[in-house]
Structure 1
Amino acid sequence: MVTLDEFSRLVSGFYRSAVDPVDWVPTLDTLRRTVGAACGGLSMIDGTSRRLTNVNVPVEAMASYDAYYQYLDYVLVEVENGPVGLVRGGTELIGLKPNSEFDADWMQRYEMDDGLFVRVTDGAKPSCLILAAPRGPMPFDSRERIQLINALLPHLQLSLRTRRHVEELIDERDDLVPAVDVLRNGVLVVGPDYVVVQVNSAAKRILRSHDGVCLRSGVVEVSRASVHAELCRSIQRALTCDGVDTWGGSLCCPRPSGARPYVIHVLPAHGSDGAAPRSRRAIVVIIDPELNPEPPAALLRRLYGLTTAEADVAVRIAAGAELKQISDELGVSIATVRKHLQHLFEKTDTHRQSELVRFLLVVMP
């Protein structure tokens, strides 16, 4: 019925549509013409109504369907409640309520009283493929047409899942941009393979300066090899964080300009625990000491009732110091530093060091 080239064009169209929904209309139209249908589309549940990406449906037919007939559409109700992947013919489905208002006044009127229908996705809001045709002397659900739809179905299902994931990433990006763009520190969101998926304005300024850290082929890169290796290890730790008390790490990044080194914190993104490996994200925070005043210990004492010693520990934690370094600088034992750290968790309602760092980076101006 179709050549290999025609089949390949249909499959390619599905995957193009996953990236750019504008391609759905020409792709569905190609499928409609290939099987000889009069019109068709993808039906998706949107709240309490259906959203139809349609091809070749008369304007007045679509308007009346949206306004009224979709609520009488027993054909799609049957398909939506049926098994995923089962290609069904119009003769069987329309025959469930022959000469009903929907059949007589809409399907027959617009010559869509036969065709092929299949539920493509599962879940509470399923998507269905519709290929409608006028009733003829022979049923539309021929063996050749059903074989073609069955061969195309896995590609259509994968393209819809991909599109859903792309939309989730777009929503995640759109929600994240306003939040991180107000921060004075550079913030980068990093995915698997160390690819940067989002940066705020401060990070763009830092990366453009090429003063020890830059973006190369979409990957954050530090000019000093040893520091770059440590950054990669920190990102990997953050991406593989499995919910235990761990985080990426902190490091200093020397700057060829001679300015004070950047302080870099690497944190697992909130919500990454339990996520699929390719969906996990790490947050890289780059602090420029030349632009940031000393952290306000007095503010932390006033807002959260910290003691002077606890505020001193908090300031150093935020700057990326390790517990031994804090112990040496304050002249106290590591056990004492751990006790102050536990008090910080209690007073700031945090539970891990990584969570405390995130909290301090937001709270401190």
Structure 2
Amino acid sequence: MNAPNGHSWHPETGRLFRLVIDQLQCTMCTLTIHDTHHAEYDIVDMFNMPDYLANRLAIDIDKSIQIDAWIPEKSNQAVSFDYEGDDGQDRFCGLTYYCRADPTVLLALSVCWQDGSAPDEWRDRREAIDAWVDAHLRLLWRSHRDRGRVGSLEHTLNLFDFTVIVLAADGNILFANEQAHALLDVGDGLRRAGHSITATDFDDAVRLQTAIQHLSHSDEQTKSTDAGVATVLLLRRANARPLVASLARMPPTARGSAATVLHVIDPDGETRPLVGELCRAFGLTPTEATLAHHLVEGLTIDGAAQAMRIQRQTARAYLKQVFVKTDTHRQADLVRVILNGIVPIKASLSLPANGGNGSARSGAK
């Protein structure tokens, strides 16, 4: 059970409360959500209702669902209730609207009058808004569910150590993950330009804007074929190698407004923790993993041996073991396997050094 946190579950909840209060002339109301498979409920919002009464209503609804196996025959069925206050003097009467939002989700909107103050005509008024309340509860649930999905997607994109920016057809930023905000804050290679973005180098800025406009304003024939096709640009920086930017056109939205997704990788980004995780997955020893990382960074076997302060023949012996464990036969194959196997999770979120020592091959030692 969760109590309300003082904030509306959804901005439209207040609108729903106002309509019900105006139509039924009730003095208090609450919105609860119930899991029909488990004894769990949330008080998602309430107006002018004591906490004990809101919880009592929610608990009784849960009991009706779980213990008595009671489910409303109609989705918008309203059931009356009558309670005595905690002080033994106040009395509360009211009714609860039920909405089966999903197979396992039941929304309950409870409205209440105190001391028998319900108007005589409330039943007629209730019937007049039954369908509206049911439709509004369904919209609230869909909006809540969709916001949860968007939040999960945003959290997922923030886990990765690359930049993702989604642009509307007019070039304005619709979404940017945490890595994108950090990159734009630095403003080297790519920076903010009002509500949009631009490259810091003039020539790169022209190419970037041309690509965005081309992807965002394609004609109808192009829309069906260009979606997902990437344009790759290099965005030069003052003190580092250029950023690698891939732009792809997203399918048009319901409003017909195409959007562009921009994916940016920093070639100077730290890869050692990511390569290290992959090497541990292959079952490489720390020395073998160090050798593999040097080769991925572009060193020759002689350069790697010098960096590791070991003999060339010793380095070649380690390399043979790396080949066996990674099922490769040449340095180029090894580098390709490692680079293709890197999942760019942020280094701060990767496993500890002893967190994964399994092998990708059953015969690895």
TM-score range, shorter chain: 0.5 to 0.7
Aligned to 2:78: 88
Q: How does 1:170-189 map to 2 (within 5 A)?
A: 170-177=151-158, 179-180=159-160, 183=161, 186-189=162-165
Aligned to 1:285: 264
The letter of the residue matching 1:362 is P
* Preserved contact between residue 89 and residue 117 of structure 1 (Cα < 8 Å): yes
Aligned to 1:317: none
The letter of the residue matching 1:251 is L
Q: How does 1:46-85 map to 2 (within 5 A)?
A: 46=35, 47-52=38-43, 53-65=45-57, 69-73=60-64, 80-84=71-75
Distance 2:298 2:229 in 1: 24
1:230-278 per-residue CA deviation (whole Å, 9 max, x = no partner) reads: 35667999xx999xxx7634321245x486432223579xxx99x9999
Aligned to 1:330: none
Distance 2:185 2:295 in 1: 25
Shift of 1:214: 1.9
Distance 2:346 2:216 in 1: 24
Match of 2:138 among 157, 162, 170: 157
SS of the residue aligned with 2:105? Answer: coil
1:198-243 per-residue CA deviation (whole Å, 9 max, x = no partner) reads: 3334x44432344442233443334522233335667999xx999x
The letter of the residue matching 1:58 is P
The letter of the residue matching 2:63 is L
* Preserved contact between residue 87 and residue 118 of structure 1 (Cα < 8 Å): yes
TM-score scaled by structure 1?
Answer: 0.54
Match of 2:103 among 97, 100, 123: 123
Shift of 1:64: 4.5
Match of 1:307 among 326, 330, 347: 330
SS of the residue aligned with 2:26? Answer: coil
**How many residues were matched structurally?**
280
Structure 2 CA distance for partners of 1:265 and 1:143, relative to 1, 3 Å: same
Structure 2 CA distance for partners of 1:253 and 1:304, relative to 1, 3 Å: farther
* Preserved contact between residue 17 and residue 159 of structure 1 (Cα < 8 Å): no
Match of 2:235 among 244, 247, 253: 253
TM-score scaled by structure 2?
Answer: 0.54
Structure 2 CA distance for partners of 1:230 and 1:45, relative to 1, 3 Å: same
Distance 1:74 1:37 in 2: 25
Shift of 1:44: 0.4
Aligned to 2:176: 198
Shift of 1:50: 2.2
Structure 2 CA distance for partners of 1:29 and 1:173, relative to 1, 3 Å: same
* Preserved contact between residue 98 and residue 106 of structure 2 (Cα < 8 Å): no
The letter of the residue matching 1:200 is E
Distance 2:346 2:106 in 1: 46
Distance 2:346 2:127 in 1: 63
The letter of the residue matching 2:109 is L
SS of the residue aligned with 2:109? Answer: strand
The letter of the residue matching 1:215 is R
Identity %: 12
The letter of the residue matching 2:147 is V
Structure 2 CA distance for partners of 1:104 and 1:39, relative to 1, 3 Å: closer
Aligned to 1:43: 32
Distance 1:174 1:267 in 2: 21
Distance 1:216 1:80 in 2: 55
Task: Supply the RMSD in Å over aligned alpha carbons.
Answer: 5.4
The letter of the residue matching 1:228 is Q
Distance 1:64 1:131 in 2: 13
The letter of the residue matching 2:78 is R
SS of the residue aligned with 1:263? Answer: strand
Distance 1:146 1:17 in 2: 26
* Preserved contact between residue 79 and residue 117 of structure 1 (Cα < 8 Å): no
Structure 2 CA distance for partners of 1:77 and 1:218, relative to 1, 3 Å: farther
* Preserved contact between residue 43 and residue 127 of structure 1 (Cα < 8 Å): yes
Structure 2 CA distance for partners of 1:163 and 1:43, relative to 1, 3 Å: same
SS of the residue aligned with 2:191? Answer: strand
Distance 1:32 1:220 in 2: 47
Shift of 1:141: 4.9
* Preserved contact between residue 39 and residue 66 of structure 2 (Cα < 8 Å): no
1:30-65 per-residue CA deviation (whole Å, 9 max, x = no partner) reads: 733542224322120155222233333334334545
* Preserved contact between residue 34 and residue 62 of structure 2 (Cα < 8 Å): no
Aligned to 1:296: 297
* Preserved contact between residue 39 and residue 57 of structure 1 (Cα < 8 Å): yes
Distance 2:94 2:267 in 1: 67
Higher share in helix: 1
Distance 1:77 1:83 in 2: 17
Structure 2 CA distance for partners of 1:241 and 1:51, relative to 1, 3 Å: farther
SS of the residue aligned with 2:127? Answer: helix
Shift of 1:144: 3.2
* Preserved contact between residue 249 and residue 265 of structure 1 (Cα < 8 Å): yes
1:159-194 per-residue CA deviation (whole Å, 9 max, x = no partner) reads: 4322332233223333443x23xx3xx512426546
Distance 2:99 2:78 in 1: 9
Aligned to 2:123: 142
